[in-house]
Every structure is written in structure tokens, then in C-alpha cells.
Structure 1
Amino acid sequence: MKWEELTVFEKSLLLGTLLGDGTITRTKAKMAPKNGLQYREHFSVKQMEYREWKLKTAPQIFEGIRVRKTGTSAELFSRKDELFTWLREQCYDERKKRIPVHLLEECTHPVFLLALYLDDGSLSLTKSTRSRLNQMIITPHIYLYLQAFYPEELEMLSEFIERTFHHRFVLSRRSDGHFYTLRIQKTEEAIRFLNEFSSYAYAIPTMRKKLDWDYRLQLEREKYPEMTVIASKAKNDYTAEEIDFIIKAKQNGMTDAAIAQQLDRTYWSVVYKWQDIKKNHLKEEIFSYAY
């Protein structure tokens, strides 16, 4: 089997999951075996339904699932094939997994992004209360925990995702791996992301909490029956132009008060936004600035 023989769906699913939880077996021999290398993916049996969905939707790629003797983990695997020998050359530098940027343009089916999210992403919730109104506000955050890759790779991946699927992910600081992962920055964009993939919750019911925003919000309401639980709505969010202005203004030594006046924002809004920029933007880490 060759890469060119796969459909766009198969390429997208395979590369998405290979950048996520999937691996391609190595061999100690100098030459790969004649029948090729093998794809493997270890997972908890709690996520069995998701891997069964992969097996069902791409039987040309995946061959089966083995449950380990402990009964708590399992493995999705392929047959040995020259395709995986070739893919290992594209996706690995020695033992380190890399993002094969040259293959991304062939992976234009949304299942690429779905696999990345379900394999290595999370839906994180921020909760805040308004005691006077007896309200709890739930804010969703979408993360792709890809810190094993270099920031330059993540930037190119982010650009591909935005160009192809129209979802904007930005780099976010972490303390492990290569110190960066990807996240959706704006609340309305996080909800739009979930709404786009919510239909897959019917095919993979165990992933519904991670895919269906209305369902997840209802679960939170059931947790706090004594409160009015609502989804946050972003108001007056900073535009890309405003963020660029803040970065350049800080580089030029402009104070927060002057920036706030220029943007018609409050002083503390600018202070908090600058902290967010420093923490989550790759190229805005070290600046000399004044308050």
C-alpha cells in the first residue's frame, strides 16, 4: 500500500492520529523488513469505542485491536506494510516524532483535526460565579497538547489549520516538552469548534462530553442545580490588530495607561491582556516595557 493510494479521508485520519497517540514501530536492523513496519496505538480500554470507530472507518489502514492481559489497556494496530516504513521516514527524525509539513496539504478532511483533538486535545472549563445574581459562568477552552513538537512546527501546523479548517489556534506556554502547545484563544471560536464536530458525538457517544457543547453545559447545570449556569459570551475581545499594536507599543516603551487611552480600553484590561500575550504568544516573551 502506498500513500498515494489512500483517500483524502484516510490520509487525514492517519496523519492526524499519528501526530497524536499513534506510533510506528522501529526496528534494530539497518534495513526495514521486506513486509514493512507497523502502526500501533496504545490506549485505555475506557476509550475503546473511539478506537473501534477508527478501525471501522479506516479498515484499509487499521487491522485490529488487542486487549492486554491486565484488561485495562489495549492496542490498535495495522498490518506490517511499506506505507508505514515510508511514513516513519516522513514523520520521524531518529527517534523523535516530527510534523511532516509537506504532507499536511494532502490532509484536508476535517477528520485530521478531529483526530488531533480526540487523541491529544482537551475541553477545559473555567468557572466563575456572580454571587449577587446566583450565577455560574462557564467558559470553554480548547487545547491541543502537542508540546512534544518544536514551536516552529506548531506555528506551521497552526497556520495550516487556520487556512484549511478556519479555526485559529495560538501557541500557549507549558512547563514540559518543548514548552508550547496550541489553544483556541477566543470563547466564541471554541464554541464554534465544538459545534462543528458535535455530530461525531453520535458516532462516538463516549466522546460526547468532549464534543457536544450543549450536552457538556447541561451536565454542568446538573452539578449546580442551585445556581443559574450560563455559557460565557466574549465582549469587546481584542482583535488581532489591537494585539499587534500592544506588542509594538510595548517594544517602543509605551505605558499601559497610554495604550489604554489609544485603544479606548480600561487600564486594567490592557494590563491583563499584556500578561496573556506574554504567556501565550511565542514571539512576545521578552520585551522591555513600562507601566
Structure 2
Amino acid sequence: MKWDDLTVFEKSLLLGTLLGDGTIARTKAKLIPKKGLQYREHFSVKQMEYREWKLNVAPRIFKGIKIRKTGTSAELYSEKDELFSWLWEQCYIDRKKHIPIHLLEDCTHPVFLLALYLDDGSLSLTKSTRSQLNQVIVTPHIYLYLQAFYPEELEQLSDFIARTFNHHFVLSRRSDGHFYTLRIQKTEEAIRFLNDFSPYAYALPSMRKKLDWEYRLQMERDKHPDMKVIASKAKNDYTEDEIQFIIQAKENGMTDAKIATELNRTYWSVVYKWQDIKKNHLKEEVAMYTF
């Protein structure tokens, strides 16, 4: 099988999941076997439904699933095929996985972004309490934990996602890998991302809390039965230029009051934004946090 023989859906799913949890198995031998190489994807049996879905929607790509002797993990695998030998050459340099930028334009089906998100992404929540109003404010954050790739690759991937799917990710600092991952910055865009992919929750019930924003909100309401749980509504998010200005201003010793004046923002808005920047742009170590 060749890359050009695949449908847009198959290409999108395969490359999305290959950039996520998938890998192409390669022995230490210098020569590629005549039968070709094999796709493999290790996972916890708790995520069996999602991998069975991949197997069912792309039977020309995936062959089956093997459960390991421990019973706690399994592997989604393909037949050995020339397709994976070719993809190895496109995606691996010195046996390290890279983003094949030249193949992205072939992957215009939304399942590309869905696979990236379900494989290596997360829906994380920031929760704040307004005691006087008896409210819990919940803010969603969408992450793609792709720090194994270089930031230059992530920038090109982010540009492709924005042009193709109209979802806008920015680089976000981390302390591992190549130190950057991708994050949707604005609250309303995070909710729009979830709304776009929520229909897949019907096919993947086990992933519903990661795909269905209203369902996730209800989970939070169940945790706080005596309080009113509402979604945050960011009316005036900071732009990336404003965030970079704050970081540079802080490095130069500028006060919060002076920064607020320069940006035409309130003092407390800048104070709270600096706290967010320190957590999500400079460290980016905790997936879920509460303040």
C-alpha cells in the first residue's frame, strides 16, 4: 500500500495518531525488511474503546489489537507494509520522530486534530471560587503535549491547524522534552474546540469527559452540589503581544501599575494575568490547578 492510495480520512487519522501515541517499529538492522515495517501503538486497557474505534474506522491501516500478559496494557498494530517503511523515512531522523511538514497538507480531515488531541492532549480546568456569590468559576484549557518535537516544528504545525481547522494554538513553555507544547490560549476558543469535536463523544463514550464540555461542566456541578458552577466568560483576553510585553516588562522591573497603564488595563487584571503567565507560560508543569 502506498500513501497516495489512502483516503484523506485515512491519511489524517494515520498521521495524527503517528504524531501522537503511535510509532513505526524498526529493528537495529540497517536494511528494511522486504515486507516493510510495522505500525505499533501501546496503550492502557482502560483506553481500549478508543483503540478499537481506530481499528474499526481504518481497517486498511490497522490489523488488530494484542493484550499483553499482564492484562493491563495492549498494543494496536498493523501488518508489515511498504507504507510504513516510507513513513519511517518521512517521519524519523536518526531514529527520532519529527513532524513531516510536507505531509500535513494531505491531512485535512478533522480526525487528524482529533487523534492528536485524544492521543496526546488534555482538557484541563482552572477553578476559582467566589464565596460571596457562592460560585465556582470553571475555565477550560486545551493542551497538545507534543514537547518531544522542536518548537520550530510546533510553530509550523500550529499554523497548519489554524489555516485548516480554524483552531488557534500557541507555544507554551514546559520543563521537559524540547521545552514547548501547544495550548489554546483563549477561553472561548477552547470551548469552541470542544463543541466542534463533541459529536465524537457519541462514538467514544469513554472519552466524553475529554470531548463534551457540557458533560464536563455537569461533572463539576456534581462535585459542588451546594454551589453554582458556571463556565468562565473571558470578555477581554490578553493578546500574545500583550503577554510578551508583560514578561519583558517584569524582567525589566516595571511595576504592575505601570504595566496596567501601558496596556490600558486595570491593576488587578495585570496582577492576575501575571500569576497565570507564571503558571502557564513560564513553567507549564501542572496539567490541572486550582486557585
Q: Partner letter of residue 90 of structure 1? A: Q
1:141-220 pair list within 5 angstroms: 141-220=141-220
Q: Provide the C-alpha distance between the structure 1 equivalents of 2:275 and 2:162, rounded to a whole number of angstroms.
A: 24
Q: Partner letter of residue 44 of structure 2? A: S
Q: Provide the C-alpha distance between the structure 2 equivalents of 1:123 and 1:254, rounded to a whole number of angstroms.
A: 34
- The TM-score normalised by the length of structure 2 is 0.90
2:13 maps to what in 1? 13
- Taking a change above 3 Å as real, the CA distance of residues 129 and 257 of structure 1, as seen in their structure-2 partners, is closer
Residue aligned with 1:132, SS: helix
Q: Partner letter of residue 61 of structure 1? A: I
Q: Does 1:90 align with 2:100?
A: no
- The TM-score normalised by the length of structure 1 is 0.90
Give the superposition deviation at 1:271. 4.9
Residue aligned with 2:40, SS: strand
1:8-47 pair list within 5 angstroms: 8-47=8-47
| Residues matched between the structures, number | 282
Q: Does 1:64 align with 2:64?
A: yes
Q: Provide the C-alpha distance between the structure 2 equivalents of 1:36 and 1:88, rounded to a whole number of angstroms.
A: 10
Tell whether the 8 Å contact from 1:170 to 1:280 is kept in structure 2 after alignment: no
Q: Provide the C-alpha distance between the structure 2 equivalents of 1:126 and 1:277, rounded to a whole number of angstroms.
A: 13
Give the superposition deviation at 1:172. 1.0
Give the superposition deviation at 1:171. 1.0
Give the superposition deviation at 1:60. 0.6
Give the superposition deviation at 1:273. 3.8
Tell whether the 8 Å contact from 1:41 to 1:77 is kept in structure 2 after alignment: yes
Tell whether the 8 Å contact from 1:170 to 1:281 is kept in structure 2 after alignment: no
1:54 maps to what in 2? 54
Aligned-residue Cα RMSD (Å) equals: 2.1
What is the identity percentage for the equivalent residue pairs of Structure 1 and Structure 2?
A: 83
Q: Provide the C-alpha distance between the structure 1 equivalents of 2:163 and 2:4, rounded to a whole number of angstroms.
A: 23
- Taking a change above 3 Å as real, the CA distance of residues 223 and 249 of structure 1, as seen in their structure-2 partners, is closer
2:287 maps to what in 1? none
1:136 maps to what in 2? 136
Residue aligned with 2:161, SS: helix
For residues 221-242 of structure 1, the C-alpha deviation after alignment (integer angstroms, 9 at most, x for no partner) is 1111111111111022123564
Give the superposition deviation at 1:254. 7.0
Tell whether the 8 Å contact from 1:174 to 1:181 is kept in structure 2 after alignment: yes
Q: Provide the C-alpha distance between the structure 2 equivalents of 1:15 and 1:218, rounded to a whole number of angstroms.
A: 33
1:289 maps to what in 2? none
For residues 133-154 of structure 1, the C-alpha deviation after alignment (integer angstroms, 9 at most, x for no partner) is 1111111111111111111111
Which is bigger in relative contact order (C-alpha 8 A, separation at least 6)? 2
Residue aligned with 2:152, SS: helix
Give the superposition deviation at 1:71. 1.0
Q: Partner letter of residue 147 of structure 1? A: Q
Q: Structure 1: any 5+ residue segments left out of the alignment?
A: 283-291
Give the superposition deviation at 1:95. 1.8
1:101 maps to what in 2? 101
Q: Partner letter of residue 31 of structure 1? A: L
Q: Provide the C-alpha distance between the structure 1 equivalents of 2:244 and 2:128, rounded to a whole number of angstroms.
A: 29
Q: Partner letter of residue 157 of structure 1? A: L
Q: Provide the C-alpha distance between the structure 1 equivalents of 2:128 and 2:184, rounded to a whole number of angstroms.
A: 19
Give the superposition deviation at 1:94. 1.5
2:113 maps to what in 1? 113
Q: Provide the C-alpha distance between the structure 1 equivalents of 2:120 and 2:12, rounded to a whole number of angstroms.
A: 15
